[in-house]
């Protein structure tokens, strides 16, 4: 029995030495059993390839420690089934429930139902097991520890007992059993002639113990380790502790290789000088090794371009290239998208969690609805989800969303029920030609509401689970039936979705099997959903489509060891990304880890990890970093980046900026080629076949240029000359205008175009409180009826007592009338509104000389003629409603327009053409209703209990003043507005005070600026 140890820097031929030893053995004993153990499947297949190339593959088993453990157990006749991920999740949840029930988890019990807690426990148990920490030992260790540590020890012990009772093992438990088998069967591994342990830079407790026991049974063990024995280099520190342990435990023979690293000059320079504080020479850089790009997305793009260049121009096989990243959640989506554009097949070493697949995310959202009491936002998302066949058209979904928003349905079937009860029995006449703030959304009423009610009832019945407890198998049967009804699997059409569905089905099968193994688990729906969600979070899904074909591998930085490649790109070398910020483990803190001999979470020697990563390539290395953070701030280089940078002349660093011109030959995709060609304004003849796309892109460029231009121009900004004949017809001299529509154009012509001409509506985000239209309509109605019914509209007491009666009546009927569902705050809101109305009435009556004579005075409606305005070149017809007309003791008239929420009621708003109502109403009183000559016009802010600053009597221009001046200005604007509309000129023009939030364009218009 001999144990040999090769310790040498990376790329000095350690693996080659192992293969040579296998060949030597084979030369004497062709059928000798040889085992090679490497850290992961990736390295296993790389080793297998190399050994096959040297004709040593027959009789050589290459695998991980897990494979070796299973082999040992088979030879010792210990057949213990390994529990699946769903079964383990269930067992841990059960032991947590049991401990809570017995009062043993005062600290952790609030986390009992959190799927993340079960996953974190599973991680901790696995780590303890990998380090051969047995439950009894752990209980002893934590006896004087914190409550959390003692509870963790209790759960660990309960979990292990439960597994043992079932006679199953978890994947980590296999290492325990293998160690026991090696102890109990001193010859179980004696058939192995040579055991090679290659590619590791550290071994966990179980691996150490297994190697130690195997060294007494296996004829020869050959272990390789990176570094140099006794080295003081910071780059080697990571390996030394384990190396010392191995030497102490196994007393191996040292084999020295005496080879210098087989690395090209620049990589050799890095290997030999990285992190050395002094003495390193600055080497001239032949080509850039360090590349800075604006963002992680640009970094991913540049790294892939670099690899594509090497594959195409230098013939490097794609399978010999690899990218390592420190943060998969940041880099993987970017790499995936860009690789697709560049046509590079790509594969990630890490599986994507099944719960992150779009189809499964949609499914979990659906299944979460009952637990969230059918939260409206989530419900509306489900209504529009393409994975479910709910037989609900997008038009119906729009209407349901509108109802939910207007009726303030936050959640629950009962809130929908209440709403239908209000809407179904009534029809409602919508008011047009009123202020913006009084326009009510067109809610479905009567039969239409009844139809929607039936649709929603059917949906609720379909997705509401049984309200009693069921076994897990029964819940899965219910779920499968539901998915069949919704045709979920048929709607998952992409390869990625189908792959996810397949894994999902397997997970459901495993859950059913877990009941066969561990007995029925009878739970209510909420618990079933938590179990399912937690289980899915622990299940991975392999990227589809590239298995068996050469593909670019993308791994995590911790996987950058053992492998030899020809081109390696390391991403994310900016501050905080790599080296990563370290956080202590909330379950196993640093002192406890030190006491148990577990790996530390802080000061993890990431420098050693980086040293391993930069020495993976035999030919090409690229290190990249983002130079701007998400908020546009400069992103500092990481210490590792600086450590490489200081070894080379400045040519080693290349900075790629998005606006830098790029040669056509460097384009890595057709999109990039076209993009560069458009920038250069020429497409070489040999790319003629791309002409159509090139023209499309040039066109897009013009659009973007137009968007950035100071002044709007062209059809994309509302100059739609082509539809002018249509506009002229629609808005001919026969057309009857409304003041608010004219104001839309006056404020921003593009707003008129999208809102009035195209009829688009802003999709408002649901928020608490009444919609502006509901509030405005309600307050207008109360004021109108209060004055109408007051015995003396000049007597404050009479008006206030009328207010008490009218407000009560309007408030009680308001939910039905205006279609909202009273919230729990409705009683308080009513009291507050009543108080505000009292104040507004007191302020209005205080203006003693004015007496109301008309309320809601219509013109151009019913029997009343429209207002006819002669603009000289033509005559306009206008209809509308004047909120109130007052008369004073001299018989003069004043018009009032109530405002419940509007701002910007100044003289400048009239001059700019944003506020035209008051002069139009003054004309309507004079010319359409012939009540007399108005001398005043004001906006009245109901909630502010005061008049707006625009008063027609005080309005002035350079040549005129008073109501006549206001009418003159208004008429000039009307000429501009009507001509603009008929010529189809709708330029977007950001209002001086910003854009109104209710403008539909606020959601896409590039000239949008928030209102202030
Ligand atoms: S967002 Fe502003 S600029 Fe754009 S259409 Fe609306 S009001 Fe006009």
Q: Is 437's pLDDT higher than 70?
A: no
Burial class (CB in 10 A: 0-12, 13-18, 19+), 835: exposed
With the most atoms of ligand 1 within 8 angstroms of its CB, the residue from 762, 988, 991, 998 to mutate is: 988
756 lines ligand 1 (CB under 6 A): no
16, part of any domain: yes
Query: Do 607 and 588 have their domain in common?
Result: yes
714, part of any domain: no
- On average, the pLDDT of the chain sits at 90
Percent of the chain with pLDDT over 90: 67
Q: What is the pLDDT of residues 832-859, one digit of tens each?
A: 999 999 999 999 888 778 889 999 999 9
Measure 763 CA to ligand 1 centroid, in angstroms: 15
Measure 740 CA to ligand 1 centroid, in angstroms: 16
- What's 196's DSSP letter? E
With the most atoms of ligand 1 within 8 angstroms of its CB, the residue from 751, 992, 996 to mutate is: 751
Ligand 1 atom closest to the Cα of residue 750 is 5
Measure 992 CA to ligand 1 centroid, in angstroms: 11
275, part of any domain: no
Query: Do 488 and 621 have their domain in common?
Result: no
Is there a contact between 718 and 753 (Cβ–Cβ < 8 Å)? yes
Query: Do 460 and 374 have their domain in common?
Result: yes
Q: How far is CA 596 from the centre of its chain?
A: 39
Query: Do 75 and 114 have their domain in common?
Result: no
Listed range (54-68, 92-106, 202-216) with the worst mean pLDDT: 54-68
446, part of any domain: yes
What does the alpha-carbon distance between residue 865 and residue 925 come to, in Å, rounded to a whole number?
Answer: 11
pLDDT value at residue 753: 95
Burial class (CB in 10 A: 0-12, 13-18, 19+), 522: middle
Q: Please, how many CA atoms are within 13 Å of residue 341, restricted to the half-sphere of its CB?
A: 20
416 lines ligand 1 (CB under 6 A): no
The last residue of one of the domains, among 111, 136, 167, is 167
What does the alpha-carbon distance between residue 539 and residue 527 come to, in Å, rounded to a whole number?
Answer: 19
Q: What is the pLDDT of residues 763-820, one digit of tens each?
A: 766 566 678 888 888 999 999 999 999 998 888 899 999 999 999 999 988 887 787 8
Instruction: Name 876's Cβ contacts closer than 8 Å, sequence gap at least 6.
Output: 733, 737, 868, 869, 974, 978
The last residue of one of the domains, among 524, 541, 558, is 541
**Number of other residues whose CB lies within 10 A of the CB of residue 698:** 15
What does the alpha-carbon distance between residue 671 and residue 680 come to, in Å, rounded to a whole number?
Answer: 14
1001 lines ligand 1 (CB under 6 A): yes
Provide the number of structural domains found in the chain.
Answer: 6
Ligand 1 atom closest to the Cα of residue 1006 is 4
**Number of other residues whose CB lies within 10 A of the CB of residue 315:** 7
492, part of any domain: yes
Query: Do 919 and 902 have their domain in common?
Result: yes
Measure 1008 CA to ligand 1 centroid, in angstroms: 5
750 lines ligand 1 (CB under 6 A): yes
What does the alpha-carbon distance between residue 154 and residue 138 come to, in Å, rounded to a whole number?
Answer: 9
812, part of any domain: no
Average pLDDT over residues 71-92: 91
Query: Do 418 and 516 have their domain in common?
Result: yes
CATH number at 595 reads 3.40.50.300
With the most atoms of ligand 1 within 8 angstroms of its CB, the residue from 989, 1000, 1010 to mutate is: 989
Q: What is the pLDDT of residues 991-1008, one digit of tens each?
A: 988 898 788 998 889 899
With the most atoms of ligand 1 within 8 angstroms of its CB, the residue from 1002, 1009, 1010, 1011 to mutate is: 1002
Q: Is 830's pLDDT higher than 70?
A: yes
Smallest CA separation from ligand 1 atom 6, residue: 1001
pLDDT value at residue 59: 81
Would you say the pTM of this structure is higher than 0.85? no
783, part of any domain: no
752 lines ligand 1 (CB under 6 A): no
Smallest CA separation from ligand 1 atom 3, residue: 990
Ligand 1 atom closest to the Cα of residue 754 is 5
Percent of the chain with pLDDT over 70: 96
Measure 988 CA to ligand 1 centroid, in angstroms: 6
Q: What is the pLDDT of residues 194-251, one digit of tens each?
A: 999 999 998 999 999 999 999 999 999 999 999 888 888 888 888 888 899 999 999 9
755 lines ligand 1 (CB under 6 A): no
Smallest CA separation from ligand 1 atom 7, residue: 995
- Band of the pLDDT at 862, cuts 50, 70, 90? confident
746 lines ligand 1 (CB under 6 A): no
With the most atoms of ligand 1 within 8 angstroms of its CB, the residue from 998, 1001, 1012 to mutate is: 1001
Average pLDDT over residues 623-636: 94
Burial class (CB in 10 A: 0-12, 13-18, 19+), 207: buried
1007 lines ligand 1 (CB under 6 A): yes
Q: Is 546's pLDDT higher than 60?
A: no
Bridge partner list, 7: 225
Listed range (125-139, 259-273, 439-453, 795-809) with the worst mean pLDDT: 439-453
Ligand 1 atom closest to the Cα of residue 748 is 8
Average pLDDT over residues 297-312: 97
What is the DSSP code string of 367-393?
HHTTTTT--HHHHHHHHT-TT------
Ligand 1 atom closest to the Cα of residue 996 is 7
Backbone angles phi, psi at 182, to 5 degrees: -65, -35
Token pair of 966, please? 């206001």
825, part of any domain: no
Query: Do 141 and 232 have their domain in common?
Result: no
pLDDT value at residue 583: 82
Query: Do 382 and 493 have their domain in common?
Result: yes
Measure 920 CA to ligand 1 centroid, in angstroms: 24
Query: Do 347 and 359 have their domain in common?
Result: no
What does the alpha-carbon distance between residue 952 and residue 159 come to, in Å, rounded to a whole number?
Answer: 82
pLDDT value at residue 426: 60
Listed range (418-432, 517-531, 621-635, 661-675) with the worst mean pLDDT: 418-432
pLDDT value at residue 593: 86
Is there a contact between 1001 and 754 (Cβ–Cβ < 8 Å)? yes
Measure 996 CA to ligand 1 centroid, in angstroms: 8
Measure 799 CA to ligand 1 centroid, in angstroms: 41
Measure 902 CA to ligand 1 centroid, in angstroms: 17
What does the alpha-carbon distance between residue 555 and residue 540 come to, in Å, rounded to a whole number?
Answer: 15
Q: What is the pLDDT of residues 580-598, one digit of tens each?
A: 888 888 888 888 888 887 8
Q: Is 431's pLDDT higher than 80?
A: no
Strands 617-626 and 565-570, bridge-based pairing: parallel
Query: Do 258 and 196 have their domain in common?
Result: yes
pLDDT value at residue 545: 56
Measure 755 CA to ligand 1 centroid, in angstroms: 10
Measure 750 CA to ligand 1 centroid, in angstroms: 6
707 lines ligand 1 (CB under 6 A): no
Smallest CA separation from ligand 1 atom 5, residue: 751
The last residue of one of the domains, among 496, 514, 541, is 541
pLDDT value at residue 221: 96
pLDDT value at residue 72: 95
pLDDT value at residue 837: 94
CATH number at 392 reads 1.10.486.10
Ligand 1 atom closest to the Cα of residue 1008 is 1
Q: Output 387 or 659, whichever has higher pLDDT.
A: 387
Measure 753 CA to ligand 1 centroid, in angstroms: 10
751 lines ligand 1 (CB under 6 A): yes
986 lines ligand 1 (CB under 6 A): no
718 lines ligand 1 (CB under 6 A): no
Average pLDDT over residues 945-972: 94
Measure 989 CA to ligand 1 centroid, in angstroms: 6
pLDDT value at residue 78: 86
Closest to 225 (Cα-Cα) out of 606, 567, 579, 612? 612
Give the range of the structural domain holding residue 461, as residue numbers without chain letter. 355-423+439-541
Q: What is the pLDDT of residues 512-522, one digit of tens each?
A: 999 999 999 99
Query: Do 973 and 853 have their domain in common?
Result: yes
With the most atoms of ligand 1 within 8 angstroms of its CB, the residue from 999, 1006, 1011, 1012 to mutate is: 999
Measure 1004 CA to ligand 1 centroid, in angstroms: 9
Query: Do 362 and 247 have their domain in common?
Result: no
Q: What is the pLDDT of residues 380-402, one digit of tens each?
A: 999 999 999 999 999 999 889 88
Closest to 381 (Cα-Cα) out of 366, 359, 368, 403? 366
Measure 433 CA to ligand 1 centroid, in angstroms: 22
- Band of the pLDDT at 754, cuts 50, 70, 90? very high
């Amino acid at each position: 029995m001999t144990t040999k140890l090769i310790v040498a820097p990376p790329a000095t031929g350690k693996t080659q030495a192992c293969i040579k030893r296998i060949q030597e053995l084979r030369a004497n004993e062709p059928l000798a059993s040889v085992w090679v153990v490497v850290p992961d499947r990736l390295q296993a297949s790389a080793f297998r390839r190399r050994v096959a190339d040297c004709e040593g593959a027959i009789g050589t088993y290459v695998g991980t420690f897990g494979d070796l453990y299973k082999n040992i157990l088979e030879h010792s006749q210990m057949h213990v089934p390994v529990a699946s991920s769903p079964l383990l999740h269930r067992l841990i949840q059960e032991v947590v429930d049991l401990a809570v029930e017995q009062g043993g988890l005062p600290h952790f019990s609030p986390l009992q139902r959190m799927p993340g807690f079960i996953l974190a426990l599973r991680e901790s148990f696995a780590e303890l097991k990998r380090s051969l920490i047995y439950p009894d030992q752990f209980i002893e260790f934590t006896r004087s520890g914190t409550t959390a540590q003692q509870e963790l020890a209790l759960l660990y012990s309960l979990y292990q007992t439960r597994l043992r009772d079932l006679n199953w093992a978890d994947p980590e438990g296999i290492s325990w059993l293998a160690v026991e088998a090696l102890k109990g069967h001193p010859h179980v591994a004696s058939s192995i002639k040579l055991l090679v342990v290659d590619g590791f830079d550290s071994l966990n407790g179980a691996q150490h113990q297994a190697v130690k026991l195997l060294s007494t049974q296996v004829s020869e063990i050959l272990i390789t380790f990176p570094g140099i024995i006794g080295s003081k280099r910071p780059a080697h520190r990571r390996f030394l502790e384990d190396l010392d342990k191995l030497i102490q435990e196994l007393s191996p023979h040292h084999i020295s290789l005496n080879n210098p690293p087989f690395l090209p000059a620049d990589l050799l320079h890095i290997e030999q000088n990285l992190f050395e504080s002094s003495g390193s020479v600055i080497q001239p850089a032949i080509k850039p090794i360090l590349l800075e790009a604006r963002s992680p997305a640009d970094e991913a793009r540049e790294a892939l371009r670099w690899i594509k260049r090497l594959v195409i121009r230098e013939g490097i096989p794609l399978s010999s290239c690899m990218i390592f990243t420190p943060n998969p959640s940041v880099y993987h989506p970017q790499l995936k998208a860009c690789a697709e554009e560049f046509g590079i097949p790509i594969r990630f070493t890490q599986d994507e969690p099944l719960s992150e697949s779009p189809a499964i995310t949609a499914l979990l959202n659906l299944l979460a609805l009952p637990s969230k009491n059918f939260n409206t936002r989530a419900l509306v998302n489900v209504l529009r989800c393409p994975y479910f066949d709910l037989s609900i058209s997008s038009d119906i979904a729009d209407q349901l969303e509108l109802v939910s928003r207007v009726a303030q349905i936050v959640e629950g079937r009962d809130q929908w029920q209440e709403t239908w009860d209000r809407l179904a029995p009534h029809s409602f006449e919508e008011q047009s030609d009123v202020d913006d703030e009084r326009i009510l959304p067109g809610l479905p009423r009567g039969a239409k509401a009844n139809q929607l009610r039936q649709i929603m009832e059917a949906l609720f019945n379909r997705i509401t689970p049984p309200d009693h407890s069921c076994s897990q198998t029964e819940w899965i049967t219910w779920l499968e039936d539901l998915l069949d009804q919704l045709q979920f699997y048929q709607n998952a059409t992409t390869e990625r979705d189908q792959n996810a569905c397949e894994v999902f089905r397997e997970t459901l099968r495993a859950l059913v099997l877990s009941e066969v193994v561990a007995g029925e688990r009878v739970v209510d729906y909420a618990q079933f959903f938590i179990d399912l969600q937690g289980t899915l979070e622990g299940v991975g899904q392999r990227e589809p489509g590239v298995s068996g074909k050469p593909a670019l591998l993308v791994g995590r930085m911790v996987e950058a060891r053992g492998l030899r490649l020809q081109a390696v790109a390391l991403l994310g070398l900016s501050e905080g990304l790599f080296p990563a910020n370290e956080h202590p483990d909330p379950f196993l803190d640093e002192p406890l880890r030190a006491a148990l001999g577990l790996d530390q979470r802080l000061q993890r020697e990431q420098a050693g990890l980086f040293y391993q990563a930069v020495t993976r390539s035999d030919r090409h290395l690229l290190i990249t970093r983002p130079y701007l953070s998400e908020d546009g701030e400069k992103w500092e280089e990481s210490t590792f980046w600086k450590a490489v940078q200081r070894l080379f002349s400045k040519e080693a660093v290349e900075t790629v900026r998005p606006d830098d011109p790029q040669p056509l030959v460097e384009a890595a995709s057709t999109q990039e080629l076209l993009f560069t060609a458009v920038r250069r304004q020429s497409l070489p003849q040999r790319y003629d076949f791309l002409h159509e796309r090139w023209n499309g892109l040039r066109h897009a460029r013009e659009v973007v240029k137009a968007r950035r231009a100071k002044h709007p121009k062209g059809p994309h900004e509302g100059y739609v000359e082509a539809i002018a004949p249509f506009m002229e017809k629609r808005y001919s001299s026969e057309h009857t205008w409304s003041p608010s529509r004219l104001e839309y154009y006056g404020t921003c012509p593009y707003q008129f175009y999208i809102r009035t001409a195209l009829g688009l509506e802003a999709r408002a985000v649901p928020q608490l409180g009444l919609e502006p239209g509901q509030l405005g309509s309600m307050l207008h109605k109360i004021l109108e009826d209060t004055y109408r019914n007051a015995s003396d509209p000049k007597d404050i007491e009479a008006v206030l007592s009328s207010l008490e009666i009218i407000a009560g009546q309007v408030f009680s009927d308001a939910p039905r009338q205006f279609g909202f569902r009273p919230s729990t705050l409705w009683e308080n809101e009513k009291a507050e509104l009543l108080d505000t109305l009292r104040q507004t009435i007191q302020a209005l009556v205080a203006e003693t000389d004015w007496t109301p004579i008309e309320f809601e005075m219509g013109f151009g409606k019913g029997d009343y003629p429209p207002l006819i305005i002669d603009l000289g070149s033509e005559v306009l017809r206008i209809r509308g409603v004047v909120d109130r007309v007052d008369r004073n003791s001299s018989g003069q008239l004043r018009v009032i327009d109530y405002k419940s929420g509007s701002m910007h009621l100044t003289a400048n708003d009239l001059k700019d053409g944003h506020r035209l109502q008051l002069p139009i109403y003054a004309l309507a009183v004079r010319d359409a209703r012939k009540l007399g000559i108005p001398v005043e016009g004001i906006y009245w802010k109901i909630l502010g209990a005061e008049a707006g600053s625009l008063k027609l009597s005080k309005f002035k221009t350079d040549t005129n003043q008073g109501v006549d001046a206001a009418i003159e200005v208004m008429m000039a604007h009307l000429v501009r507005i009507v001509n603009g509309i008929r010529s189809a000129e709708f330029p977007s023009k950001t209002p001086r005070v910003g854009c109104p939030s209710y403008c539909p364009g606020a959601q896409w218009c590039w000239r949008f600026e928030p209102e202030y």
